[in-house]
Amino acid sequence: MAPNARKEAHAAPARALTRQDYKTLSLSALGGALEFYDFVIFVFFTAVLGKLFFPPSMPDWLRVLQTFGIFAAGYVVRPLGGIVMAHFGDLLGRKKMFTMSILLMAVPTLLMGMLPTYASIGLAAPVLLLLLRVMQGAAVGGEVPGAWVFVSEHVPARHIGYACGTLTAGLTAGILLGSVVATGINTAFTPDQVADGAWRLPFLLGGIFGLGAMYLRRWLHETPVFAELQQRKALAAEMPLKAVLRNHRGPVVISMLLTWMLSAAIVVVILMTPTLLQKIYGFDPHTSLVANTVATLCLSIGCLVAGVLADRIGARSTLFGGALLLAVCTYIFYTTIKVRPDLLLPLYALVGFSVGVVGAVPCVLVKAFPAQVRFSGLSFSYNLSYAIFGGLTPVVVALMLKNNPLAPAYYVIAISVVGMITALFVKDQTDTV
């Protein structure tokens, strides 16, 4: 860790979390949940969107592949949005960028709910869907890293794991909210009614959620760490990203590899699996979405547990043990539900909880970079990794599925091993922000 970060940490008095800290964490997590809902709701309607926005003559596997490709496009542009927002977040303030990202997410989500389909405008339909997905990706590229930096700089150093775990639980709660809404839509409407227009409702609702998140963040304050840097005139003297690439290459690599594990676990186990349960294992939409709701609730709990463990036993041990648990649970889940479909709910709940290891990842990422370039370093590492690995994951898994129905399990297990190896290089630091 950089000397400035150490000095900063040792200067900060040890204290317990205050009421204001809990208020900041609660508002940040709730706002993050509402914004992340906007980003992920797309994946819960992949099957119907594929039928509505692509030619009906297209083979089913290709339609699913292309729809997941549009979903992945949101990840590909994340580095650009993240780098731009992080640049100004390191120079102008965390809160400004933390708030701006919501507007950039809410507008395209609202427009998605108003898009004409392939039957109305032909190939322009998937092109417009892709464009809006790209806009969403740019917004979330600034939101997630900015949120982790924001909460970590508000709490005492010994509670950073808890703060990041809470925020990550909030983001995953956005997935849970998406799952609940998708379950409700598929319960209240028949498949024909969903295709006829009910699919638009969750996107329109997302626009309202975005406005609600903007209102919530009015009550947040700039982080004490950034305010002190500003007062001491100790902000980055050059382009923050330039300093990151020159002085912090090791932390960038570790951060990217841990983000790869995070993205594989979230994208495959939580976001892709509801569709895979329907396409491969024969579950109906309602059953698969109810199971996903339970799994995502367990994921949020797992994130909190992982964050607390990172504070108490260290991020290295938490990540190593959590990645091992993820690999084991993933294998059990995908190899069992085919022969024991009655165990779908408990098995999905278990593997969902194991995905909660991702709650310990941001604790490492936040501590990896000094305050002057923290937002840029974290954002660059996280978003570049998500663009490469998170963006390619659904496409790679979809292609692998043509030859092996256990492809999702093998992919997650392989990346869990990468996470375990990377965890060995993580230094458990007691001094940070």
User: Hey, where are the domains in the chain?
Assistant: 19-218+238-423
More confidently predicted of 325 and 236: 325
If phi > 0 it is left, if psi is from -120 to 50 it is alpha, else beta; for residue 282 that is: left
Q: What is the DSSP string of 26-87?
A: HHHHHHHHHHHHHHHHHHHTHHHHHHHHS-TTS-HHHHHHHHHHHHHHHHHTHHHHHHHHHH
Q: Rounded to an integer, what distance in angstroms lies between the CA atom of residue 299 and that of residue 359?
A: 9
Mean per-residue pLDDT of the chain: 84
Fold adopted by 19-218+238-423: Growth Hormone; Chain: A; (1.20.1250)
- The CA distance from 17 to 30, in Å, is 18
Q: For the segment 61-72, what is each residue's pLDDT rounded down to a tens digit?
A: 677 777 777 777
Question: What's the pLDDT tens digit per position in 323-342?
Answer: 999 999 999 999 999 899 99
Structural contact between residues 322 and 360, judged by C-beta atoms closer than 8 angstroms: yes
Amino acid identity for residue 261 in this structure: M
- The pLDDT score that the predictor gives to residue 269 is 93
Phi then psi for residue 117, to 5 deg, are -95, 180
Q: Is a pLDDT exceeding 80 seen at residue 242? A: yes
> For residue 321, what pLDDT is reported?
96
At 151-192, the pLDDT tens digits run: 888 888 888 999 999 999 988 888 888 888 988 898 899 989
Mean pLDDT of 43-64: 78
- pLDDT higher than 60, residue 427: yes
Residues in the chain: 433
Burial profile 273-296: b = 16 or more Cβ within 10 angstroms, e = fewer: bbbbbbbbeebebebbbbbbbbbb
Region for 284 from its dihedrals, namely left if φ exceeds 0, alpha if ψ lies in -120 to 50, beta otherwise:
beta
- Which tokens is 42 given? 């797309």
Residue 34's pLDDT band, with cuts at 50, 70 and 90, is: confident
Torsion sign (Cα): 75, 77, 83, 84: negative
Q: Residue 40: its pLDDT value, please?
A: 80
| For residues 374-398, average pLDDT | 85
Query: Is residue 170 within 8 Å of residue 23, measured between CB atoms?
Result: no
- Give mean pLDDT, residues 211-234: 73
Taking 50 as the threshold, does the pLDDT of residue 7 lie above it? no
Q: What is the mean pLDDT of residues 85-90?
A: 73
The DSSP secondary structure of 146-163, one letter per residue, reads HHHHHHHTTS-GGGHHHH
Residue 247 pLDDT level (bands cut at 50, 70, 90): confident
The closest of 310, 422, 288, 408 to 359, measured between CA atoms, is 310
CA 111 – CA 23 distance, rounded (Å) = 32
Torsion of CA 323, 325, 329, 332, to 10 degrees: 110
Using alpha carbons only, give the angle 245, 250, 253 rounded to the nearest 5 degrees.
85
